[in-house]
């Protein structure tokens, strides 16, 4: 009987390995750009087409490879970074496993062009699905160029799982930003579908961050720096006034490698304790340098998670460092007395002596004399009070006459109105009331209905927004002064794709600079102070999954805006607002659930209430 366990062919094993290493085009970008950094390149160019589905090309001016290395780099577990297992705990490079290029070549068409500086000719290699198609000498500049075309061409199921171009390109931009921030001394360029989005020359760390995120980034950065035996920390955190509702622009780098760490993130939030409103998230760009032997980066296929030897000490150092920086730059409150700058001595009075004031005394002044010695004015004459009784002659008769003529009429007049009108039984029994500023309780014939005010308002706004998008007759409220909002290059790129949908619900856009969005009018329901938070919420929700069809895009935008603009739990509503919300809810097409399929109300019948009081 033959055995049932067999060795997998190499191309199948490579495709399985690709499932761990290459999840989307951004994974290819990460691996190729890290290889370019390891090749000591000073200029790296990333060229993308169709969010990387059609082409991902990375061109660098690094050391290049000879013919043998160019052939061997596509083999599994072939690497120049380590020689033995102990090297895993002393890594100074990005890649080290030797699986990336083999995995990429198994699921795409790959073209490699590379040349070393001392060589006259370079080498061109073409690989399709782990099969070598061509190999020949070529005249090339120094460095390496990797072109990855038609990703997942031989695995249609994996390709179908890719998101829309906008979502995939968002992930590509994130990988580009992480590597560009980790290496500010390298010149990076990003070109997407023929348009140059980023051109970042070699600079310092602060300017690199500003060049990536534009807007008011430079204004909001607070420098952080600390050096201990355990860790060296440098970087920037944002001022509390610039905190956002969504988690974005939060970066940890350990030994120039981007990582994700919920534990260190909690340390940052602890440093902001008492400075941020509930739910707000600060931005931070923190660079940690630790001994390579104190970390283990080989615990995750994408190498974005790291295990530290002493996490608790690192937590305490990071929290205290950020807290110190916020206090040092007068961002956090400190124990100090406030002084008025207007009381400071002017500079030109610094050496001037103060003049002694002169005092004049009047020795002849007597406060007990009626006439002041300083005035010659005669005293006023005293009024004559000898005939004061004559002032009241006839007053009693006039008062009695007034009482008998007018007062008697008022006493006999029948009162026809009450101070408080008797309540109408039908009106009072149907009035809603607010419970704990969260629910609206309204009586009905069969009992009572309890409405969740936040979810109910979401449903109302959602259907209104969808109707406006469909009919395209949304109203707009013009602004007295245009509203200018700063966004990053990628965020503006995403917002421009959503312009038709946003205009359909009442947004009117004007012309602005490269890094800003100008709004001339807003939907009537939207307060100008809430616009930035609403747009950030839209970007956060839609960047994780923008549908391909326009209807689905409109639906996602309507849900996101309804969630942001709906009345929040804890908000007080007047009686008229409660009645309007109840009436508007039951006028909706699907009043029973919110846009996110959660119940908006529940009913309690009289029988259920009676059972509560049954003996």
Would you state the pLDDT for residue 75?
A: 79
Would you state the pLDDT for residue 518?
A: 87
Q: How does the average pLDDT of the chain come out, rounded?
A: 79
Would you state the pLDDT for residue 414?
A: 53
Return d(Cα 378, Cα 370) in angstroms, integer: 10
pLDDT digits (tens, 9 = 90+) for 65-94: 888 888 888 877 666 554 455 445 555 566
Q: State what percent of residues in the chain have pLDDT above 90.
A: 23
Dihedral over Cα of 404, 410, 411, 412: its sign = positive
Would you state the pLDDT for residue 143?
A: 92
Would you state the pLDDT for residue 419?
A: 42
pLDDT digits (tens, 9 = 90+) for 243-275: 887 777 889 998 888 888 888 899 999 999 888
pLDDT band at 615 (very low <50, low <70, confident <90, very high): low
Least confident of 132-141, 501-510, 552-561: 552-561
Residues in the chain: 615
Q: What is the DSSP letter of 392?
A: G
Residue range 222-226: average pLDDT?
91
Would you state the pLDDT for residue 42?
A: 93
Structure tokens at 2: 């033959």
Residue range 490-518: average pLDDT?
80
Would you state the pLDDT for residue 257?
A: 87
Would you state the pLDDT for residue 559?
A: 85
pLDDT band at 349 (very low <50, low <70, confident <90, very high): low
Would you state the pLDDT for residue 531?
A: 84
> Which of 40, 41, 47 has the alpha carbon at shortest distance from 25?
47
pLDDT digits (tens, 9 = 90+) for 228-237: 888 899 999 9
pTM attached to this predicted model: 0.69
Would you state the pLDDT for residue 536?
A: 81
Residue range 421-449: average pLDDT?
76
pLDDT digits (tens, 9 = 90+) for 184-199: 999 999 999 988 889 9
Residue range 144-150: average pLDDT?
93
Return d(Cα 549, Cα 198) in angstroms, integer: 29
| Contact (Cβ atoms closer than 8 angstroms) between residue 18 and residue 130 | no
Give the other-Cβ count within 10 Å of 135's Cβ: 14
CA–chain centroid gap for 463, Å, is 26
Would you state the pLDDT for residue 125?
A: 92
pLDDT band at 8 (very low <50, low <70, confident <90, very high): low
pLDDT digits (tens, 9 = 90+) for 36-69: 998 889 999 999 999 899 999 999 999 988 888 8
Higher pLDDT, 363 or 93: 363
Would you state the pLDDT for residue 316?
A: 92
Would you state the pLDDT for residue 373?
A: 47
Return d(Cα 376, Cα 385) in angstroms, integer: 27
pLDDT digits (tens, 9 = 90+) for 376-423: 555 555 566 666 666 666 666 655 655 555 555 555 555 444 444 455
Would you state the pLDDT for residue 398?
A: 58
pLDDT at residue 439 is higher than 50: yes
Return d(Cα 263, Cα 276) in angstroms, integer: 19
Return d(Cα 198, Cα 196) in angstroms, integer: 6
Would you state the pLDDT for residue 395?
A: 61
pLDDT at residue 121 is higher than 70: yes
Would you state the pLDDT for residue 401?
A: 58
Would you state the pLDDT for residue 420?
A: 42
Q: Which of 283-292, 499-508, 511-520 has the highest mean pLDDT?
A: 283-292
Contacts by 181-186, CB closer than 8 A, 24 or more apart: 181/205, 181/208, 181/209, 181/212, 181/251, 181/253, 181/258, 181/285, 182/253, 182/256, 182/257, 182/258, 182/287, 183/37, 183/256, 184/208, 185/42, 186/37, 186/41, 186/42, 186/43, 186/44
Given strand 221-227, what is the order of strands in its sheet?
A: 221-227, 232-238, 284-289, 250-254, 257-259
Return d(Cα 361, Cα 356) in angstroms, integer: 16
Q: What are phi and psi of 600, to 5 degrees?
A: -95, -25
pLDDT at residue 12 is higher than 80: no
Would you state the pLDDT for residue 200?
A: 92
> Which of 312, 304, 306, 265 has the alpha carbon at shortest distance from 284?
265
Reduce the DSSP state of residue 43 to 3 states and report it: strand
Would you state the pLDDT for residue 561?
A: 83
pLDDT at residue 213 is higher than 50: yes
pLDDT band at 457 (very low <50, low <70, confident <90, very high): very high
Would you state the pLDDT for residue 421?
A: 45
Would you state the pLDDT for residue 54?
A: 92
* Rg of the chain taking only CA atoms, in angstroms: 38
């Amino acid at each position: 009987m033959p055995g049932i366990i067999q060795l997998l062919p190499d191309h199948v094993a490579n495709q399985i390995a690709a499932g761990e290493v290459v999840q989307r085009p951004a994974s290819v970008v990460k691996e190729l750009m890290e290889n370019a950094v390891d090749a000591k390149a000073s200029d790296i160019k990333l060229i993308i087409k169709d969010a990387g589905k059609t082409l991902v090309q990375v061109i660098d001016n690094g050391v290049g490879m000879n013919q043998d290395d160019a052939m061997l780099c596509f083999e599994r577990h072939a690497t120049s970074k380590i020689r033995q297992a102990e090297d895993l705990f002393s890594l100074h490079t990005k890649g080290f496993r030797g699986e990336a290029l083999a995995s990429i070549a198994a699921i795409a068409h790959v073209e490699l062009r590379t040349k070393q500086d001392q060589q006259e000719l370079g080498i061109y290699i073409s690989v399709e699905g782990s099969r070598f198609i061509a190999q020949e000498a070529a005249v090339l500049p120094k460095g390496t160029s990797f072109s990855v075309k038609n990703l997942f061409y031989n695995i249609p199921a994996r390709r179908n799982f890719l998101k829309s171009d906008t979502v995939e390109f968002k992930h590509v931009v994130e990988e580009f930003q992480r590597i560009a921030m980790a290496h500010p001394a390298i010149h990076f360029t990003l070109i997407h579908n023929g348009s140059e989005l980023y051109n970042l020359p070699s600079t310092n760390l602060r300017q690199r961050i500003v060049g990536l995120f534009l807007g008011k980034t430079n204004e909001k950065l607070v420098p952080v720096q600390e050096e201990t035996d355990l860790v060296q920390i440098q970087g920037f955190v944002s001022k509390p006034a610039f905190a956002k509702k969504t988690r974005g622009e939060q970066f940890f780098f350990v030994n120039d490698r981007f990582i994700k760490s919920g534990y260190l993130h909690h340390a940052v939030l602890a440093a902001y304790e008492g400075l941020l409103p509930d739910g707000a998230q600060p931005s931070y760009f923190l660079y940690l340098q630790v001994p390579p032997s104190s970390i283990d980066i080989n615990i995750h296929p994408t190498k974005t998670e790291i295990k530290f030897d002493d996490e608790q000490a690192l937590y305490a150092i990071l929290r205290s460092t950020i807290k110190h920086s916020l206090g040092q730059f007068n961002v956090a409150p400190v124990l100090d007395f406030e002084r008025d700058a207007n009381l400071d001595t002017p500079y030109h009075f610094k050496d001037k002596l103060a003049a002694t004031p002169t005092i004049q005394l009047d020795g002849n002044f007597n406060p007990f004399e009626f006439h002041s010695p300083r005035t010659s004015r005669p005293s006023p004459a005293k009024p004559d009070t000898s005939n004061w009784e004559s002032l009241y002659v006839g007053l009693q008769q006039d008062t009695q006459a007034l009482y008998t003529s007018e007062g008697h009429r008022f006493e006999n007049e029948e009162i026809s109105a009450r101070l408080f009108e008797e309540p109408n039984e039908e009106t009072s029994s149907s009035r809603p009331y607010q419970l704990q500023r969260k629910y609206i309780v309204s009586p009905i014939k069969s009992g009572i209905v309890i409405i969740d005010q936040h979810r109910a308002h979401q449903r109302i706004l959602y259907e209104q927004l969808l109707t406006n998008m469909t009919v395209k007759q949304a109203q707009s409220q013009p602004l007295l002064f245009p509203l200018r909002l700063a966004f990053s290059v990628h965020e503006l790129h995403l917002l421009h794709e959503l312009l038709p949908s946003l205009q359909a619900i009442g947004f009117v856009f004007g012309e602005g600079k490269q890094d800003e969005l100008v709004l001339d009018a807003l939907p009537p329901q939207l307060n100008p102070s809430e616009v930035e938070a609403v747009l950030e919420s839209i970007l956060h929700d839609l960047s994780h999954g923008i549908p391909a069809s326009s209807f689905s895009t409109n639906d996602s935008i309507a849900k996101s805006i309804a969630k942001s603009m709906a009345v929040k739990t804890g908000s007080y509503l007047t009686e008229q607002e409660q009645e309007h919300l109840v009436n508007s809810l039951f006028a909706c097409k699907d009043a029973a659930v919110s846009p996110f399929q959660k119940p908006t109300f529940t009913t309690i019948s009289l029988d259920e209430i009676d059972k509560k009081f049954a003996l």
